[in-house]
Amino acid sequence: MKLFLLRFSMSLALLVSIFACTTETKDLSNSFTVSGNITGLDTEFMSYSYRDADGKRVSDSVFVKDNKFTYTGQIDEPTHIIFWPNVESTIKRTGRGYYPAKSSQFAFLASPGDEIVFEGEITDFVNAYPTGTKGNDELAEINKKIFPLMNQSVNMQLEINKLEESDPKRETLQASMAKIDKEVIQVKKDFVTSNPLSQAAAWYLSDMMIRSHVSQDESIAFFKSLDNSLSGYPFYQAVAQRVEGIESTKVGKIMPNFTTNATNDGETFELNSLRGKYVLIDFWGTWCAPCIAEMPKVKAYKEKYADKLVILGVNSGDTMEKILKFTEPKSYDWTQILAASGDQDLVLQLNVAGFPTKFILSPEGEILNRFVGDTEEAFDVLDELLD
């Protein structure tokens, strides 16, 4: 589950990241440049990927020659960007997959007009950090502290994977990992509270909330500690939406109403139209293995309590075309909407920080329960309510 949430929290970071590289004439006023001469960057290209406003994945390459790279991109607003170096020593492979370790990425904050330079080296992680703007100097300050620690932690996980279940060394390594992971989170918290004017602090608070590394009370307190001069910064605004979501989605509150045209049937949907029956709101994605594993049971409960229960799927990370391609053959025929549509982002507004997330609403729209991650308990609650 921890690895899955990491993958999820990585997916939620790429969604808010970066820019399309096209052959069309570009508005140079929105351009930025990032470059570096990095010892050990033994690759021909780096890569990045993101989803555009329509949910379509866009990928491109950053070419490298003799350890050097220069890239000019286009963005409309301040953005957190990552490059994957494609250097084998930094790829934390496990079986057929890999751990998407943040310490194996070039990470930076870009705004229109920025000129950013990376300095450092590649070893078994990206020990290289951005400079050139105040925000990136601040980001480098914290990443220099936590990237080596994060690299130690993921290397321990790789070592654990090679051991037999009965090997006592596993327990020792797991304890060491837990200690390092706790230290990393504390460094992040200290950085946020010590840098109330920092764009990097706003980004890290947003990232910690996505990863559930801070409690709801901590999130509110940390947000209040940030200076209001950051109020125009996108990641400050994202935190503000999540904090508002914390307050509005507490158990006992009436779920905030929302309306969207991003539906599977093309019709306008309004949450309040479901009043009169119990509602199970299921936040999911086709990329989310635990979400997919629970879908047959969601279908079974829809049929079991057809006269009392309505299902609403809220999808994050897929196009509606991909959703329908997945749901229609399996007769998952309940209403599906996209979490992000236009200026509306239900993941932020309802403070969804892990997938799957399920809400159970009363016929009057009151939030009766909220389940994050392993949501098996949600079905037990439905039986208690509806039997």
Give the angle subtended at the CA of 351 by the CAs of 332 and 12, to the nearest 5°: 70
Distance in angstroms (rounded) separating the CA atoms of residues 88 and 173: 24
Q: Is 295 in contact with 366 (CB distance < 8 Å)? A: no
Pick the CATH number of 259-386 from 3.40.50.300, 3.10.20.310, 3.40.30.10, 3.40.50.720: 3.40.30.10
User: Residue 201 has what pLDDT?
Assistant: 98
- Residue 28's pLDDT is what? 58
- For position 328, what pLDDT does the model report? 94
206 and 235 in contact (C-beta within 8 Å)? yes
Listed in order, the ranges of the chain carrying CATH 3.40.30.10 are 259-386
Q: DSSP state, 39? A: B
Taking the model in full, what pTM does it have? 0.78
Q: Which residues contact 116 (CB under 8 A, 6 or more apart)?
A: 32, 33, 34, 35, 108, 110, 130, 131, 132, 133, 136
Alpha helices in 273-370 (DSSP H): 289-304, 320-327, 346-349
Residue type, 69: F
What tokens does 362 get?
A: 């009363």
Token pair listed for 329: 């053959």
- Cα atoms in the Cβ-side hemisphere of radius 13 Å centred on 375: 29
Instruction: Provide the b/e sequence for 240-277 (b: ≥16 CB within 10 Å).
Output: bbbbbbbeebeeeeebbebebebebeeeebebeebeee
Helix or strand or coil: residue 216? Answer: helix
**What pLDDT, on the 0 to 100 scale, is given for residue 212?**
86
Residue by residue, DSSP assigns 121-143 as EESSSEEEEEESSHHHHHHHHHH
User: Per-residue pLDDT tens for 169-182?
Assistant: 999 999 999 999 99
- Which residues, at least 6 apart from 382, have a Cβ–Cβ distance to it below 8 Å? 278, 280, 301, 305, 309, 360
For the chain, residues with pLDDT lower than 50 are 1-26, 51-56
Residues 279-300 pLDDT 10s: 999 999 999 999 999 999 999 9
Question: Which residues does residue 108 pair with via DSSP β-bridges, in sequence order?
Answer: 81
The DSSP H or E segment spanning 79 is strand 79-83
